[in-house]
Amino acid sequence: MKNLTSAQVRQMFLDFFKEKNHGVEPSASLVPKDDPTLLWINSGVATLKKYFDGRVVPENPRITNAQKSIRTNDITNVGYTARHHTFFEMLGNFSIGDYFKEEAIDFAWEFLTGKQWIGLNQEKLSVTVHPEDEEAYVLWRDKIGLPEERIIRLEENFWDIGEGPSGPNTEIFYDRGAAYGGEDATDPELYPGGENERYLEIWNLVFSQFNHNPDDTYTPLPKKNIDTGMGLERLVSVIQNTKTNFETDLFLPIIRETEKLANTTYNASEATDVAFKVIADHIRTVTFAVSDGALPSNEGRGYVLRRLLRRAVRYAKQIGIEKPFMYQLVPTVGAIMEAFYPEVHDKKDFIQNVMKTEEERFHETLQEGLQILHTIIDNEKAKGHRLFPGKEVFRLYDTYGFPKELTEEYVEEAGFKMDEAGFEKEMAKQRERARNARQKVDSMQIQDSVLSDIKVDSTFVGYDYLRTDTTVAELVADKQLVDKVEAGNEAYLILAETPFYAESGGQIADKGRILFENGTAEVQNVQKAPNGQNLHRILVQEGTLSKGQAVFAEVDQLSRQYIIKNHTATHLLHQALKDELGEHVNQAGSLVATERLRSIFHTSVQ
């Protein structure tokens, strides 16, 4: 086996598949594009869905990539196990209806064992297959030459997420030797695929050959696909012969840099090792996420980053680090990854600024929050309780910036359980207070039940016309449907066709007038009705307006022109902010009116 760096392994993988006529897909941003189902890109195949589901036909049906990924479903395990990470890289090769099992197995074996490539000892490799996948079993036995005792049939070797493509998979395992698990015949888990440290899974090959139908039957796919994934961190751990992933050159330089700030060293004790591992993992995740445009906040991706940063700060206290420090590790992450991800090094000043600001904010309230937390724990212990009150969890979250999950870790270490229901009750109260506090200025009460029952069609034509002949489809006055409205009264109406823009996306509604036989109505506001129609608030100035009546709708042209100019100016301002402050700038809200505009944006630049 060759002595290789992580950068060499990554490049070697891509070079190998380029030789096998695969196109190399660049590592995509961790922030998904056009995929609302994902919070983060979480696998190598996640960015290739468009090819697998047929929306886009790739130029080359053979694809390979090294994809940065984030998974946060096991955050509390990070630091306590050898291979749990929130950020990792997935090496993959894919076939969209081109080659299938034989080539996929051949490629994997050649890359892992070929002397030109990784050069693993063939005797240390075993595989698992699905019991009914006789084709894969025969290929491993007869084509590759693996002895039958190293081909294990496992029922769980089937990839299936419900309706859609599915199929058996084969996993490749590396035997790390007796030092990671002896030959104890009584251990029921000591086999490739079992729960043990000896046989390490390094590559998963999925053979997508069936369609899982709605009636739970399976039919062959007309075009069969290949989807494989191999964790870079695991493979490098094998190649560099390290006990865990954290001793590889992907993590150890970060740990060594952290030692310079701590009052202890790595491998001094199991407890402090957890802290070093948590910090090394979380700094990678936050560094790359911020590089890709995510910023700490109280929701969505931002909440994940805030939680990771604050969890790292919490563990840092266990090794004597009492001040903001994570930002100092960013250059080390950049140096480790520069060969393939130069953007991290290029953006390091910005990333450091984001982290330092976030750490400083947390440190301002951390100490006081911890004192309150420990006081509550002592008081509850004195009462003989072992349930940490949800009301106090909320107070720590709302006042001191403790993510709920961070408090949960603290109280579990003290032997408590957290009152989840109580916390959610307090969060619901806060949401209700926020709703009640919102100003109801110019409210049209468009969610009134009578409006929910209106199903008539209404077409917006205002992009093409500012004036149009149309008819009154519905009239509402005093919260009920009416047939007519007299002069001097306000009402709401829906037109069959309307040129009036409804308030949306920060842009105010059009104003104007509606002319009808012997009468006029002023259009004062326009909002969206529950079923999507444009709902006009009007004041009948002259005459009597009736349902079904033919009318002439006219937008105030000068007002619309001012709105258009300010709408354009908002876009120009947003781009200017990106040019001056960086691509990370996100628009959080805007107002586009006739006489002014307002843009609310997020940035960490001070």
Cα–Cα dist 76/447, whole Å = 42
One-letter amino acid of 553: A
Report the alpha-carbon distance of residue 238 to residue 242 in Å, rounded. 7
Q: Percentage of residues in the chain with pLDDT exceeding 90?
A: 68
CATH number at residue 25: 3.30.930.10
Residues 402 and 488 in one domain: no
In angstroms, the CA 51 to CA 63 distance is 10
The region, left, alpha or beta by phi > 0 then psi within -120 to 50, assigned to residue 300 is left
Judge whether residue 246 has pLDDT over 80: yes
> Are both 490 and 550 inside the same structural domain?
yes
What is the average pLDDT across 80-94?
Answer: 95
Q: Residue 602: its pLDDT value, please?
A: 63
Write the pLDDT tens digit of every residue in 262-280. Answer: 999 999 999 999 999 999 9
- Name beta bridge partners: 158: 168
Residue 587's pLDDT is 67
**pLDDT at 452 (0 to 100):** 72
Q: What is the pLDDT of residue 185?
A: 61
pLDDT at 447 > cutoff 50: no
Domain boundary among 391, 408, 437: 437
Inside any domain, residue 583: yes
**What helix, strand, coil percent values describe the chain, rounded to 5?**
40, 25, 35
Q: Are residues 545 and 584 in the same domain?
A: no
The pLDDT score that the predictor gives to residue 506 is: 83
What percent of the chain has a predicted confidence (pLDDT) above 70?
95
CA distance 589 to 526: 20
Alpha-carbon distance of 559 to 542, in angstroms, equals 23
Instruction: List phi, psi (to 5°) of 401.
Output: 70, 25
- Using the predicted structure, report yes or no on whether residue 577 has a pLDDT greater than 50: yes
Computed on alpha carbons and rounded to an integer, the radius of gyration of the chain in Å comes to: 31
User: What are the distances in angstroms from CA 457 to CA 382, 454, 504, 515?
Assistant: 66, 9, 19, 21
The verdict on 382 and 398 lying in the same domain is yes
| Segment 159-167 mean pLDDT | 81
Do 57 and 180 have their domain in common? yes
Residue from 92, 88, 101, 95 nearest 65 by CA? 92
Domain limits for position 480: 449-555
How confident is the model at residue 164, as a pLDDT? Answer: 73
Pairing mode, strands 519-528 and 484-485: unpaired
pLDDT attached to residue 352: 95
Contacts of 46 (CB under 8 A, 6+ apart): 32, 35, 38, 67, 69
Distance (Å, whole) CA 443 – CA 527: 10
- Same domain, residue pair 395 and 308: yes
566 in the same domain as 429:
no
Q: Is 444 part of any domain?
A: no
Of 228, 89, 91, which Cα lies nearest the Cα of 159?
Answer: 228
Per-residue model confidence (pLDDT) at position 174: 97
Over the chain, what is the mean pLDDT? 90
The CA distances from residue 192 to 120, 128, 154, 164, in Å, are 17, 7, 10, 29
Same domain assignment for residues 307 and 358: yes
**Domain final residue pick, 437, 471, 496:** 437
pLDDT in tens, 500-521: 999 987 899 999 999 999 899 9
Q: How far is CA 159 from the centre of its chain?
A: 22
Strands (E), 276-327: none
| Distance, CA of 82 to CA of 412 (rounded, Å) | 22
For residue 190 the two structure tokens come to 């000591």
Q: Which pLDDT tens digit goes with each residue over 14-39? A: 999 999 999 999 999 999 987 878 89
**Does position 381 have pLDDT exceeding 70, yes or no?**
yes
Is residue 364, in this structure, part of any structural domain at all?
yes
Q: Which residues pair with 212 in a beta bridge?
A: 164, 218
Q: Tell me phi and psi for residue 523, to 5 degrees.
A: -90, 115
* DSSP collapsed to 3 states, 515-545: EECCEEEEEEEEEECCCCCEEEEEEEEECCE
